[in-house]
Structure 1
Amino acid sequence: MGSLAHLGRAALPSVPGVNLLPGVRKVRPSEFTGVTVRNEPVRIDPAHVARYAAVCGFPRKDTVPVTYPHLLTFGAQMEVMASPEFPWAAMGSVHLENTLTSHRPVAVGESLGVEVVVEQTRPHPKGTVVDFVSTLTSGEEVVWESVSSYLVRGRGQEDAPPGLSFDAPEGRVTWRLDDGLGRRYGRVSGDMNPIHLYPVTAKALGFKRHIAHGMWTKARSLAAIENRLSDAVRVEVAFKKPVFLPGSVSFGVTGDRSEWAFALRRPKDGAPHLIGRATAL
């Protein structure tokens, strides 16, 4: 099933009336016992990698950008969200954090199996955090893993544990982001969520303008230090304030090859869009 079809299925539970139909109707959160989706190995398409690298600022190489495998998990994540056993609607959830672990470089043209498991939820002051755990394998070898944490808004817990926090550097380099960035990244990633496409589609979902994808901001930040990353690396980021399009962001990085701290900030006041760190394994 294509990415747009997955997005459509995941969006159905948000449609009044349709969300009551068999196969669409969701279980209650109290009945949630977990969802697992496994996909057969898929060959990484060199042309697709090239388009992704161009949008995100990575150099062309015979290995994929460290964030590229996230795209291989996207369809399985949408399948989880569309499942009747997953209690929450996809639309309206907020991507809070993402941690990826790359155990080795992944070759362009390599075939990888995909598994996405959702079992864990955590309290948050504004609702519930749901962790999507993705694993990519080559045969029996685990080559890449990630945890994507999404906030489902609702009744929260005021004393919930805080999320990821880092000492983040100040911005040093300013990047200008154009109006069409969300559409270009959406076409290559498959994530055509309306909040990323046009002002009118974003306003319909409560944003003043369309916003950049969080995973693009992570990818672009890592592209800036790609030649300084270890072959085996863990990269943790927290998404803070949305990046409105068109607009500008400032990027800063400090550290050494054992650990880099980086951030994307709002140039006018330094407010963080993204804070992160990359740790050599």
Structure 2
Amino acid sequence: MPTTDLTHLHPPGLLPSYARALLPRRRNPERPLPARTLRLTPVPREPGRLREYARVCGFPAPATAGRLPATYPHLSAFPLAMRLLTASDFPHPPLGLVHLANEITQLRPLTAEERLSVAVRAAPGAPHPRGTAFAVTATVSDEDGAEVWRSASTYLHRHGGAGGPGRGARPGPAERELNAPTREESWPLAADLGRRYARVSGDRNPIHLYPLTARPFGFRRPIAHGMWSTARALAALDEALPEAFTARVRFRAPAPLPSRPTFRAAELPEGQAFHLVGEGGRLLLAGEVTPP
């Protein structure tokens, strides 16, 4: 793949990216990330996919030209991110990456009928005791070229020892104590949740699908997608979300499938803080919603 920027008129196919991800290839974590931006313009309008996404993630059913869920643009960025991660010059293997954190900024509500474009690139992350961290960033622009949405998903390539998501890492800024939660609800996570989210998102990482496919990566059971967990948290807070905000989520431990974790949220002076806690009391994720 060339090192220059590339613009796609249609979403790149995921099957070639998955095939490249399975190919044995020597990766060098010391190599710099490729300075490449991949773009998709325009983002296709897929009303059926939007409805199914809202259903799987718990958002209100969208109207034909209604407001997009704040996490929905990630679906348009994902094929570009896969093309970037599986390129021959990308220094980290896509299989086995640990999803550490998400940050999403919505600068204004987006609607299903808008003409949007998305750009994806990779950026170095903070040092990590377990290996090398990096971020995949996405930026969505409207028809006039104005930025309306952006995200950063932070990943860890482990090469400094074993350990699950977040182990050995310092608590992030979103991990504050929840004093007097104003919302608490139980989330029944079905065994097939990873497969249902994979069908609508295209993210078919084997750790989310079946016990057999998750086991080679150190999991006895499949685990929930990080982007699903982020979406489900924002869906639970949907009525309280302002038109513009930044949502930060840090993953502390995987949410196994099936399980029944508890979601708790509390008000901040400017926004909301939230936790997802496993059945044994372990913190699975911590997040906050603040002004952008």
The TM-score, its normalising length taken from structure 1, stands at 0.88
Aligned to 2:21: 10
Is 2:193 the counterpart of 1:181? yes
Aligned to 1:277: 288
Instruction: Give the SS at the match of 2:127.
Output: strand
Aligned to 1:76: 80
Aligned to 2:242: 230
Residue 204 to residue 238, structure 1, CA distance change in 2 (3 Å): same
Pairing of 1:1-281 with structure 2 (within 5 A): 1-12=12-23, 15=24, 19=25, 29-61=30-62, 62-139=66-143, 140-155=145-160, 163-169=172-178, 172-255=184-267, 258-268=270-280, 270-281=281-292
Which letter does structure 2 place at the counterpart of 1:51?
A: E
Q: 1:170-210, CA deviations, whole angstroms, 9 ceiling, x for partnerless residues?
A: 78321211111000001001001111111111112221111
1:6 shift after superposition: 2.4
Q: How many residues align?
A: 269
Aligned to 1:22: none
Instruction: Structure 1: give runs of 5+ residues left out of the alignment.
Output: 20-24
- Alpha-carbon RMSD across the aligned residues, in angstroms, is 2.2
Distance 1:96 1:160 in 2: 10
User: Which deviates more, 254-263 or 232-241?
Assistant: 254-263
The TM-score, its normalising length taken from structure 2, stands at 0.85
Q: 1:224-279, CA deviations, whole angstroms, 9 ceiling, x for partnerless residues?
A: 110100010100000111011111110100005831001110133x2111100011
Q: 1:34-69, CA deviations, whole angstroms, 9 ceiling, x for partnerless residues?
A: 332122221231111100000000002311111111
Q: Which has the higher strand share?
A: 1
Would you say the 8 A contact 2:29–2:132 is kept in 1? no
User: Which deviates more, 205-214 or 250-259?
Assistant: 250-259
Would you say the 8 A contact 1:10–1:79 is kept in 2? no
Residue 11 to residue 230, structure 1, CA distance change in 2 (3 Å): farther
Instruction: Give the SS at the match of 1:262.
Output: strand
Q: Once superposed, which parts of structure 1, at least 4 consecutive aligned residues long, lie more than 6 Å away?
A: none
Residue 224 to residue 141, structure 1, CA distance change in 2 (3 Å): same
Distance 1:111 1:90 in 2: 30
